[in-house]
Every structure is written in C-alpha cells, then in structure tokens.
Structure 1
Amino acid sequence: MFSRIASQATRRSVQQAIKPAVQARFASTKPAAAANAMQVAGVSAAIVGATGLGYMYANDNVHANMADEGLHPPEHPWYHNGPLNTYDHAAIRRGYQVYKEVCSACHSLDRIAWRNLIDVSHTEDEVKAMSEQEEYQDGPDDNGDMFQRPGKPSDYMPRPYPNDEAARAANAGALPPDLSLMTKARHGGADYVFALLTGYVDAPGGVEVREGLNYNPYFPGGAIAMARVLFDGVVEYEDGTPATTSQMARDVSTFLAWAAEPEHDERKKMGMKATVILTGLTILSIYLKRFKWAPIKSRKIVYNPPK
C-alpha cells in the first residue's frame, strides 16, 4: 500500500518537472516562427519577381507582340475528336484529292504508302491503278543497271523534288515541309492547318512584308513563303460536294490528321473493347470479393465462459 502511494507521488513529481521544460520549448519556437513569417514571404516574393523579370527581359524568345508566335488558331468541332467517333472517311477521300491536285506539287508525304489508303478512302483496285500511274526507280537488274517501273501499293508516295536542294531552288530558298506529321508537329493540329489555309489576308498598317512573301497571321512571324493555294472551285470533287475554300481546307486538314495518326480508328475500337472487358472483370471481381468475404465479415463470435 505504502509502495503504491510512493510510486504515484514519484510519477507526479516527474511529470511536473518535465511539463515546464516542454512548455518552454514550444513557447520559444512560436515567436521565432511568427517573426520569420514576414521575412519568408518577402524573400519568396522577391524570388518570384526576379524570376519573372529575368524571363521577360533576358529571354529573347519572349515577345510582347504575339504575332511573332502566330495567332492561336480557333478550335473547330472536328468529327473525329469525339471519344467514340472515327474519321470522316469521305472527307479523307476528298482531302487526298485536294492534296494530290494542289499540295503534292510542293509538299511530300514520305510516311504514307499507297497501301495505307486501302479500305480507308479507296478500294484496293483504285489504289493499284493510282500507284501504277507513278514511276519508281528500281534495280539493279541482271546487268547492274537501274530501271524505271510502275508503282505498286507497297511503294511510298512520290516526292515532288529529288532532294532538299532542288526543293529550295524551286521555291526561292524556302523548303516546303513534309506533311506526313504536320498536324502533330504544329500546335493546334488540324485547327492550325485549317486556319493557315484560310487565313491569308492583306497585311495590316505598319506591317511590312518582304517581296515574295505573303501575310498570314497564323504563321509565326506573319510572313510565309507559300502563297494562297485554295480558291473556290480549284478542285472538282468526285462526289459533287461544292469545292469552296473552307470545304477544301476542312477536307485536306482531315486527310492530314489521318496521315499523322492512321491508327486512330483502330485505337478507339481497341479502347472500347478494353473498356468493356475491364468493366466486366471489375464487376466480377467485386462479386467474388463480396461472395468470399461476406461470411467472414458477417460471422459472430460468441464466448461461452466455462461454468
């Protein structure tokens, strides 16, 4: 009895001795933290401000005039942007016609073979007929000589120039870019292509455009070597669709979007299949979990003390 009382008294005396030290420790840190709060905020604001000013004035790539970067293209409701929508294949066929009759004179499509068009925009017979109209260098033959042959569906679409030097010489020093991945290489994708093709206007006052260049606000810098190429009626569509400038720009933008991502439709189909399968497996796993654990979670443990 006396030992228990002595132990309790000893415990209380130890707690009373520790409590002032703990209070003094926390009391000593609170004023310091409060005093440093303003200093921390001031230093942080100075760092952020200095970083912003340095980025604005030291970086030559940042300009107050956003014309140097090109206008941001407006967004359009492309049919293939829907989560469950595929490409408009009729638009792809018309877009290929625009590319073939207008764009292919300067721009290549190196990553697209004739066979890629089969069952996308053309039939196999149509693709074979179109490829045979082009001649490709092949060989060597039995004598070691190169020869020309008609194209095959496995061949890639021909380039308008044999090399980059010839392309520059024919375009006043400007190199027409390859269009295979154009919608992925430019910010805005198909919106940028559409805006660029339909955005040719007269230069505003105070803006000078060098001779041989054309003003297009959607092109970085505003001055582009390519002249306007799409005019109403420049192409006669096979399906009778009116060939307005905006219609042709929309169709060729859709075609170039497909050229940059030809697996788009298959990817969405595979995604739908995966979603259905994973949903079924998730539901099945939830059912099995409840089936296995329900008896364990709902059981009651009864304790029968010995009599």
Structure 2
Amino acid sequence: MNVFTKAIAALAVSTSAALAAGGEGKITDYEFPFEGPFGTYDQNQLQRGLKVYTEICSACHGLKYVPFRTLADEGGPGFSEDQVRAYAELYEVFDPLLADGQGDYRPATPPDLFPENNAVGAPDLSLMAKARSGFHGPYNLGINQIIKGMGGAEYIASLLTGYTGEEQEIAGTVLYENEAYPGGWISMAPVLYGDDVIFDDGSPTDMESTAKDVAAFLMWTAEPKLAARKQMGLVAIVMLAVLSVLLYLTNKRIWAPVKGRKDENVG
C-alpha cells in the first residue's frame, strides 16, 4: 500500500470516527486570567508557556505569524529588548540576500518571525487558539461566548491532557485515543507527562499546569492585543452609556414645551 493510499485510508477512518462520536470532544472548563471582560494575560504564565513551547512544541510546530519583537510588547511575556534578542538568536532564519543572492541561514533577530516547522506536517500554532473552539465556542452561541471568548485555550489544554493511553494502528498509522479531540482519535502522540520542564520560579510542573501555561501562551500568539481590545470595548460602552443619557435629557428638554401645551389642551 503506497503512502497516498494509506493517507486516504487514515482520513476515512478518522472521518468515520468523528461522525460516530458526534464531532465534539470533551472540553474541560479551565480558568484563565485573561477570561472575562476585565481579564488580562498573566505575564509569568506567558513566560512559562513560551518555555514549554520552546522546549517541547517547537520540535514539530512553528509560529510563522508571530514576530520575536512582540515578546517585549505591553501585555505580553514582558521580555526586555536584550532578552528578546538573546531568545531570537536561538533560531535560524533563511535570508535570501546572503551568499551573493543565493540565500543562506543566519541567527534570527527581533524583527524576524518565528520560523515555520513543516518537518512532520504538523499545523502551525500561531492562530490555533482562535481556529479551535471549546465548550463555549460556536457549538454554544450566547452570552458565555461573548464574555469568555471562543474557548480555544480550554481546547488546547484539554487536548494536551486528554490522552487515555489507548492506541490503535490503522492503515499503518498509529492513532492515540484523546477525549478532547473530535472523533476521539488523533495522530499526535502525547507530549506532556508531568515534570517535562523546570521553571525558575518554582511553578508547578504537573501535566495540567504545564498544559494551561502553553495554552495561555498560544492564546496570546493568536490574540496579542486582547487586553487593549477589551479596554477599548469598555471605553466604548461607557461612552455609549453617557451618550444615551445625554440624548434622553436632550429629548426631554426639546419636547417639554410641546408636551406642556398638549397637557393644557387636554385640561
């Protein structure tokens, strides 16, 4: 059986399993500091999430839409310019202007983007938190979605902790049972087992805590201006409320004489 045939067979099995399971996975309602109308990112959590991504996730996944310089932006991980520069140099990017126009690799600089990683065909994680919805996403439209968002961070954390340990091989492809993944079976092997990374601040390194940290970081990569957008929304609501009061008072003042004459005629 050639590679193409195997891929088609795996896709058919995955699709059948997804339909049989109803297309939805089991998503845990984790608490994140950026949820709610007044929520903001936890800088320390974002730094821990970046560490998890760097040491574990970056082996297969890229962040091709995220510039290194944003690590120093307000509301983000809060790196200094020197820290951003040092972190960027951990990566190499292809520069088409080097080697007399032939192109060559060089250490990354802050203006560069995180490199792509297509080694195993794994999806890019830049927008994963927006692309994937959780328990209060499109499946449950309403006030909960407006207040909490799409639930992408919950989906990511649930996916990383949702493995049951069961495996099966179909058409040469090993699938792993995952309660959060639509259909119940995923080709990505478990990546977190607990104590996978060590944090300098002594933060918990159990599987759930680590999953929440990297999920929060990926939410930031997808919504780096989340706090500013919320603040702008609150300002707009206050302004609309004040405008409504002014319009009401103006309406009362303009129509007061007319209403007074009407009352006299009735009397």
Give the TM bin, normalised by the shorter chain: 0.7 to 0.9
Contact 1:209 1:223 in 2 (8 A): no
Secondary structure of 1:201 counterpart = strand
State the partner residue of 2:245: 283
1:84 maps to 2:84: no
1:149 maps to 2:106: yes
Shift of 1:240: 1.6
1:102 maps to 2:53: no
State the partner residue of 2:145: none
Report the TM-score, using the length of structure 2 for normalisation: 0.76
Contact 2:92 2:105 in 1 (8 A): yes
State the partner residue of 1:137: 94
Shift of 1:70: 4.8
State the partner residue of 1:218: 180
Larger Rg over CA atoms:
1
Higher mean displacement: 240-249 or 86-95: 86-95
Match of 1:228 among 190, 204, 214: 190
State the partner residue of 2:126: 180
State the partner residue of 1:195: 158
Q: 1:61 to 1:293 in 2, by over 3 A?
A: farther
Secondary structure of 1:299 counterpart = helix
Name the % identity: 39
Q: 1:141 to 1:194 in 2, by over 3 A?
A: closer
Shift of 1:191: 1.8
Counterpart of 1:65, as a letter, is: A
Match of 1:252 among 204, 210, 214: 214
How far apart in 2 are the matches of 1:242 and 1:99? 16
State the partner residue of 1:71: 25
Secondary structure of 1:215 counterpart = strand
How far apart in 2 are the matches of 1:229 and 1:276? 45
Q: Where in structure 2 are the equivalents of 1:10-89 lying within 5 Å?
A: 65-66=20-21, 69-89=23-43
Segments of 5+ residues of structure 2 without an aligned counterpart are 1-14, 135-151
Q: CA RMSD in A?
A: 2.6
Shift of 1:63: 7.5
Higher mean displacement: 89-98 or 100-109: 89-98
Segments of 5+ residues of structure 1 without an aligned counterpart are 1-59, 169-174
- Whose strand proportion is higher, 1 or 2? 2
